Amino acid sequence: MTENLDIEIPLFAFSHCRDVVAAVTKAGGMGVLGAAWMTPEELDMSIEWLEREVDGRPFGVDLVFPGTAMDDEKSPAEYLASIPDAYMAFVRDMLDRGGLSDLTAEDRDAFMAENAVKMAMTNRKSRDQLDVTLARSSVSLIVGALGVTPDWVVKEAHARGVQVGALVGSARHAVKQREAGVDLLVAQGTEAGGSVGSVASMVLWPQVVQAAAGVPVLAAGGVSRGSHILAALSLGCQGVWLGSLWLGTTEGELSPEMREKLFAAESEDALLARVMTGKPGRMLRTKYVDAWQAPDAPALLSWPMQSILNGYSYKRAEHARDLDYWTYAVGQVIGDMKGHTTVKSEITRLLNEYVDAVEELQKVTDID
């Protein structure tokens, strides 16, 4: 797999932040840019930036293909308009009670309109993002977030010599993706940050390896130490795929205060809930998440309205510099993340720990 993709180490990094993607690729791994929130124009600019930055080394792009989940596709403005007033009022009252200063109505409306464009992941947007990605010959890998990768995506990517990967949370989905013709599977356990299934990595990884029937599998969900990499390889995976760990790096998308909020948390604080998107996902437990889970809270909105609505609290928390009502997708490895790092230092640490773990394993398995 590393030969196929022309990388030195089988370490893949998912990040919304192009600086992380570039740094991982430059370190010999494969950075994969999370493009779900980008407009096609923003994605094109980011790919162009990456091309200049990585100087011919391989990188990937992660896209969301909503597929049949979005039968009644609307424009971002229509999605925004379909959020009931009572829901905006619920969030506003919660934040007022928490003492967070509000935005002006003008700033709030402008931000919500912009956020709707980011969060409404429609089929039309995916189509445009794919066109932009395939038009640039620099992209080596396209990865589809959870959900079966549509046939036409695989065909069009392969026609341009681009490999296709897909995230799966169950062996059943692995079979479907394999049948769809993907080149690479990312087996993501429930420990992971973001949208997740319910099966833990220890059980899932070998199940997916078996179902993949020869298609290479990357281990995702709960990887933050070199010993995890050894475990992943022992369970039949060919590499690892990490997301949460990069949130603690200076190259990542979070402010120093947000990073510190994560460092103060433990693994138990990475809660599985539907608050961020309306679908099950793992996120930092905060007062905001608790308020949505309280018995008097309204039923959560469906995707993408819930994600659009959450932008209001995110922006207000940022504006008021009060992170008690902020939240972010993060996995259980949060309990291992205890201070500011860089991408390079994290990769060096992971590789050193991996070598130590191999040596330790040899000591216990050496029967001479």
Ligand X SMILES: Cc1cc2nc3c(=O)[nH]c(=O)nc-3n(C[C@H](O)[C@H](O)[C@H](O)COP(=O)(O)O)c2cc1C
Q: Which residues bind ligand X (CB under 6 A)?
A: 14, 34, 36, 62, 145, 167, 188, 191-194, 220-223, 241-245, 328-331, 333
What is the smallest separation between the CB atom of 16 and ligand X, expressed in angstroms?
6
What is the smallest separation between the CB atom of 194 and ligand X, expressed in angstroms?
3
For ligand X, give the closer residue by CB, 117 or 330.
330
For ligand X, give the closer residue by CB, 80 or 333.
333
| Per-position b or e across 317-354, b if 16+ CB within 10 A of its CB | beebebbbbbbbbbbbbbebbeeebebeebbeebbebb
Cis peptide before 304 (omega within 30 of 0): yes
Residue 74 is encoded by which pair of tokens? 């609307």
For ligand X, give the closer residue by CB, 14 or 79.
14
For ligand X, give the closer residue by CB, 108 or 188.
188
For ligand X, give the closer residue by CB, 76 or 243.
243
Going 172 to 234 to 338 to 36, the CA torsion angle's sign is negative
For ligand X, give the closer residue by CB, 25 or 103.
25
What is the smallest separation between the CB atom of 65 and ligand X, expressed in angstroms?
10
For ligand X, give the closer residue by CB, 33 or 103.
33
What is the smallest separation between the CB atom of 129 and ligand X, expressed in angstroms?
12
Residue 169 is encoded by which pair of tokens? 């949370």
For ligand X, give the closer residue by CB, 103 or 309.
309
What is the smallest separation between the CB atom of 84 and ligand X, expressed in angstroms?
26
| CB-nearest residue to ligand X | 243
Residue 350 is encoded by which pair of tokens? 């992971």
Which of 294, 282, 277, 275 shows the shortest CA–CA distance to 335? 282
Distance of alpha carbon 326 from its chain centroid, rounded?
Answer: 18
Euclidean distance between CA atoms 341 and 248, whole angstroms:
6
Going from the C-alpha of 128 to that of each of 50, 124, 273, the distances in angstroms are: 19, 6, 31
What is the smallest separation between the CB atom of 204 and ligand X, expressed in angstroms?
12
What is the smallest separation between the CB atom of 13 and ligand X, expressed in angstroms?
9
Which of 90, 92, 94 shows the shortest CA–CA distance to 103? 92
Whether 264 and 333 have beta carbons less than 8 Å apart is answered as: no
What is the smallest separation between the CB atom of 244 and ligand X, expressed in angstroms?
3
What is the smallest separation between the CB atom of 66 and ligand X, expressed in angstroms?
12
Whether 168 and 188 have beta carbons less than 8 Å apart is answered as: yes
| Per-position b or e across 121-134, b if 16+ CB within 10 A of its CB | bbbebbbbbbebbb
For ligand X, give the closer residue by CB, 112 or 145.
145
Give me the residues paired with residue 241 across strands. 12, 220
Helices (H), 213-342: 226-234, 256-263, 287-293, 305-320
What is the smallest separation between the CB atom of 145 and ligand X, expressed in angstroms?
3
For ligand X, give the closer residue by CB, 221 or 226.
221
DSSP letter, residue 59? E
